[in-house]
Chains A and B, each alone.
Chain A
Amino acid sequence: MFFLIILFVMLFGMIGYGVSKSYINRKRFFFNFDLFLLDIKSGIEFSSKKITQIIQSETYTSKDFKNLLKNYLESLDGEISKEGLFQNVCVLSEQEKTFVFLFFKNLGRLDVFSQVDEIENFYITNKKYYEMASIDAGKYQSLFTKLSILVALIIVIFIV
């Protein structure tokens, strides 16, 4: 019986963690975008690497960010659209999507000076988004986990 109660609470705890996963993925997305901006900047300034080379040579941990890069590469031959770029990317709000879209819309289309300036500006703003996403993830991850464990315990008390 005791074993079943533990299993039940753990199951609810995991459900709570699962619910809060989107906040962690959002944080991971902005963390990867931050790394990407640094990679791109050094690639442009020091090696004049092509965008496609930079994107393909890096490995990112965020599945959403990887999907975004895949969509971006696919859109290069045609016209880049917000819908196309964020296909299978579901962790961002509309405002955040617009921010990321504006960056990719101009990526590779500017001369070296303007491109580096643009990256620096986006880097600063992305830091703010990352901080917000980190706060949200910290807050909601523990909140949802605790809440679901609490619900599990209440259910257990009622049953027992």
Chain B
Amino acid sequence: MLDFLPKELQSMLLSRFNYSEINEIRIRVNKPIIVTCNTKQYFLNMENSLSLKNSIYATQEMIDNIIFKSSEYSIYSVNEQIKKGYIMVKGGIRIGLCGSVVYNDEIKTINKISSLCIRIPHQIKNVSLPIFNHVISGGEPNNVLIISPPGAGKTTMLRDIVFQLSQKNYPYNVFIADERGELSDCEHDMDLGMFNDCLKFLNKKDSFLLGLRSMSPDIIVTDEIGGEDDMLAIEYIINCGVKVFASVHAKDVYELKHKQTFKRLLDNKVIDRYVVLSKENGVGTICGVYDNNLNRIYGGV
């Protein structure tokens, strides 16, 4: 899975850490490489500790080669992704980029890349079981919004909800609008069940419309909504009789309330259930489930 990394780095990582526990790898030019494993951060060194001693330092050449390899030796072919600040590689791994933006009325590209944030997704089966009866109540799906800060397991939760629908024989046609290609890496390892169709790398608005027209979905699943366009698109598809499972970055429902773009969605009580996650007791800790009036109906921690 990590074959876009230099061989030495790859073998060091896999000998020091259990792949299924690695959440994130941070590579910054002339800085030590940091690995996040089960929410704890480690310098990549021979001691597998927080100690800086014997840490592996990243070089510009190393970063350039990682980008080259992760683009399958064709950086030009991933320019649209680079413009959005990331590159997707097989396995749903997202490499976030920082460097010099080439801007001329719009972002043309990012070059002189100096930092990489490699996020490794994992399918954790049954993680959604504690809240599943809030996702489907009375045999009917609700409109569900998963709320959490970055890296707290939103995407994993969404993925498992889709998987559980299939496991529990709910034959809903699920359309996955996967703008960043993180949710639905169906061709590699990730099992999302039998009833889903994935559309990758298209913005949510166009993706929803395309899915609505072509795939007749019962449920649309999408990750990380946030912009005004996303809200309008969600309202539109809900008014078309399609249910939505989505996720958003926020600490809790109170923080969500302060997001201007969500005001309409909250006021119109479009979402039936809000599921709040945190990293309190590890990634994916369920802090609570809230109804459309933002009353807590399931305790969590």
Q: What string of 1s and 0s marks CB contacts (under 8 Å) between B97-116 and chain A?
A: 00000100000110100000
Chain A interface, DSSP helix/strand/loop, else mixed = loop
CB within 8 Å of B: which A47-65 residues: 48-52
Contact call B68/A109, Cβ cutoff below 8 A: yes
Contact call B77/A49, Cβ cutoff below 8 A: yes
Q: Is B79 an interface residue (CB 8 A)?
A: yes
Residues on the A chain within 8 Å of B77, using CB? 44, 48-50, 112
Residues on the B chain within 8 Å of A48, using CB? 76-77
From B71, which residue of chain A is reached at the shortest CB distance?
A108
Residues on the B chain within 8 Å of A52, using CB? 72-74
Q: Is B145 an interface residue (CB 8 A)?
A: no
Query: Which of A76, A77, A110 meets B76, CB within 8 Å?
Result: A110
Q: Is B280 an interface residue (CB 8 A)?
A: no
Contact call B82/A108, Cβ cutoff below 8 A: no
Cα-based distance from A110 to B102 in the complex (angstroms): 13
Cα-based distance from A109 to B69 in the complex (angstroms): 9
Residues on the A chain within 8 Å of B68, using CB? 108-109
Cα-based distance from A49 to B74 in the complex (angstroms): 8
Q: What string of 1s and 0s marks CB contacts (under 8 Å) between B63-104 and chain A?
A: 010001101111111010010000000000000000000100
Q: Is A94 an interface residue (CB 8 A)?
A: no
CB distance from B146 to the nearest CB of A (A): 32
Cα-based distance from A77 to B69 in the complex (angstroms): 8
With contacts A109-B68, A111-B109, A112-B109 known, is A50 near B74, CB below 8 A?
Answer: yes
Residues on the B chain within 8 Å of A115, using CB? 75-76
Residues on the A chain within 8 Å of B75, using CB? 108-111, 115
Using CB atoms and an 8 Å cutoff, list the residues of chain B in contact with chain A.
64, 68-69, 71-77, 79, 82, 102, 108-109, 111
Contacts A/B (CB < 8 Å), 11 sampled: A48-B76, A50-B73, A50-B74, A51-B73, A51-B74, A52-B72, A108-B68, A109-B68, A110-B76, A111-B76, A111-B82
